[in-house]
Amino acid sequence: MMKTDFLALPDEILLSIDKPERYIGHEVNAVVKDLSKVQVRFAMCFPDVYEIGMSHLGIQILYDMFNSFEDTWCERVYSPWTDLDQVMREKKIPLFALESQSPVKDFDFLGITIQYEMCYTNILQVLDLSQIPLESKDRTWDVPIVIGGGPCTYNPEPIADFFDLFYIGEGETQYRALLDLYKECRAKGESREGFLRKAGCLPGIYAPSLYDVTYNRDGTIASFDPRYPEMPRKIRKEIVGALDDTYYPMKPVVPYIKCTQDRVVLEIMRGCIRGCRFCQAGELYRPVRQRSVETLKRYAMEMLKNTGHEEISLSSLSSSDYTHLPELLDYLLEECSKRHINISLPSLRIDAFSLDVMSKVQDVKKTSLTFAPEAGSQRLRDVINKGLSEEVILSGAREAFEGGWTRVKLYFMLGHPGETDEDIVGIGDLANKIAAEFFDAVPKEKRVNGRVQIVVSTSFFVPKPFTAFQWAPQCSKEQFIEKAYTCRQGIASQLNQKSIKYNWHEADVSVLEGVLARGDRRLCKVIRRAYEKGCFYDAWSEYYHHDRWMESFAECGVDPDFYTVRERPDDEIFPWDFIDCGVSRKFLLQEWHNAKEGKVTDNCAEKCSGCGAASFGVGICFASRS
């Protein structure tokens, strides 16, 4: 059998499981290197199923970066789906990387990107199937260095025991130094702990096992100290200064199977100027940095050519805030229409410009428009600093209806700090006003299906570290459910209620997400216990077992409410305080107080509010303001 034909799983298994395509690699643009010429093997893992993991841009960027290093071969790993998971356990088949199909445990590094809290048990699944000891303290040089990255590592403490290292911040900057240190330490026969100790002194790298935490009698943190004097007390996030001058995958891997993101993804900028107080990404990725429009045009064409995708999507936290959006879209509209390529435009503010663009790329009769007011009343939108007024929403909706759209999606969160029943009822009011706008704007004879369709979706608010709401209490499950009920009643009482559909999320998962988001090291044993009870794929509602999680908390003697429902005092030491994300704690606290007073804060394009991110010396902090 030819070497390239080798598959880790025998035919009998591949034929008996769902979607074997997830496990065979061999995709277009997958990188295969000659093992004899490689010094470092890096397994890059997204701990969820292939179709989700393959849709993640960050991994594609790092995959491209690592494989541009001549001495390194980076391969991909995803969570086996539940059917294969069971087979691998029964037959003791070690988890393998897709490109070489060889066991993960033979690699030098296992990098895990951690995008959401509900994947924590899948991290344990990946380690377990890889036959790597679950906890860092039990590992030897026989297994890879396990390093975590991604947004959840801004509070890595609930999963600290499972990782040897965390990389805090954007991956493009320090990995080369880390790999060089690794090679040096291995060549010198350094101990594993010795390597971790040195790695923990690199910028942005956190070695959790080399820090000690003590707690006060009330359960809050008393102290957090490095074990060795040379190790940093604060770990500052890493960022890329100039986005035009870094890695970007010109030849992303093209999956066979249809993935969530089955398109070219063009990251136009990082960061967001808006400063919504509930939004963690808005703080973590500060300061806003844009790619030049010339670079983006070139990237777009090259990536379309190299992948053959029939769609391109712009990626950023708020694409409408990209300075050169009209120029970029004009270019893409022209080039893409020649090639029968669709343009997908998520996260656009609804205004005359975006409606014009959307009407050119979408069938207005078939698509819906999305607004994310996040809160039902102006009062509460001021609390959360969501700079979107009812006027703007209604005029945007009216223009859309006049343009032929008949479907509108509205996204809200329930459970913002200080939310009242009036705020919640305001959701129904707003939806009703939008419907009224339709009947007013569109004369009867022009109504395509006779009526407008408004879909209101609410999720439950989970306070996150490094936001103004990191001090805020989270609602209990009962409060969440009551709020959803109030919201539903509010919608049902509207004149146009027949045009409004209401969806709400599960409350159980939001409670657990809240515990894990602001948790500390004492949660490691709870997560492990839950995993041992069979929890994994918690992000998939059909596999979420709330009862098993609650049992795990009880058995470990950990009270989940400690992490959620209490309001934290201004001076409490948080588990994530040792991380410096650029935005200062002082600024966030001021924002928390502003929120309580309903005072709005200007966005970065209007005025600098002195959040602290200017200390990176790049991006919007140094741009001239209009």
Residues of this chain that interact with other proteins (CB under 8 A) are 2, 4-5, 7, 11-12, 14-16, 20-21, 24-28, 254, 256-258, 304-310, 339-340, 342, 362-363, 366
How do 579-580 and 221-226 pair as beta strands?
unpaired
**Smaller CB separation from other proteins, 63 or 182:** 63
Which two three-digit tokens encode residue 52? 């989700």
- Asked if residues 202 and 181 have their Cβ atoms less than 8 Å apart, the reply is yes
Give the nearest distance from C-beta 78 to other proteins in angstroms: 16
Give the nearest distance from C-beta 108 to other proteins in angstroms: 25
Give the nearest distance from C-beta 401 to other proteins in angstroms: 19
Q: What's the DSSP call for residue 530?
A: H
Q: Whole-angstrom Cα distance, residue 337 to residue 334? A: 6
**Smaller CB separation from other proteins, 25 or 282:** 25
**Smaller CB separation from other proteins, 308 or 534:** 308
**Smaller CB separation from other proteins, 87 or 573:** 87
Distance between start and end Cα atoms, the chain: 65
Give the nearest distance from C-beta 73 to other proteins in angstroms: 18
Q: Whole-angstrom Cα distance, residue 621 to residue 499? A: 44
**Smaller CB separation from other proteins, 7 or 614:** 7
Q: In what order do the strands lie in the sheet with 311-315?
A: 264-267, 311-315, 342-344
Give the nearest distance from C-beta 358 to other proteins in angstroms: 12
**Smaller CB separation from other proteins, 22 or 237:** 22
What is the full DSSP assignment across 352-420? HHHHHHHHHHS-TTT--EEEEEESSSHHHHHHTT----HHHHHHHHHHHHHTT--EEEEEEEE--TT--
* 192 C-beta neighbours (distance < 10 Å), count: 16
**Smaller CB separation from other proteins, 51 or 580:** 51
What is the full DSSP assignment across 429-445? HHHHHHHHHHHHHS-GG
Which two three-digit tokens encode residue 9? 């799983």
Best CA proximity match to 282, nearest among 241, 317, 238: 317
**Smaller CB separation from other proteins, 25 or 275:** 25
* E-state strands within 89-161: 109-113, 145-149
Q: Is 53 left (phi over 0), alpha (psi -120 to 50) or beta?
A: alpha
Give the nearest distance from C-beta 186 to other proteins in angstroms: 32
Q: What's the DSSP call for residue 242?
A: -
Give the nearest distance from C-beta 304 to other proteins in angstroms: 8
Give the nearest distance from C-beta 400 to other proteins in angstroms: 17
**Smaller CB separation from other proteins, 4 or 68:** 4
Give the nearest distance from C-beta 344 to other proteins in angstroms: 12
Which two three-digit tokens encode residue 401? 């209806």
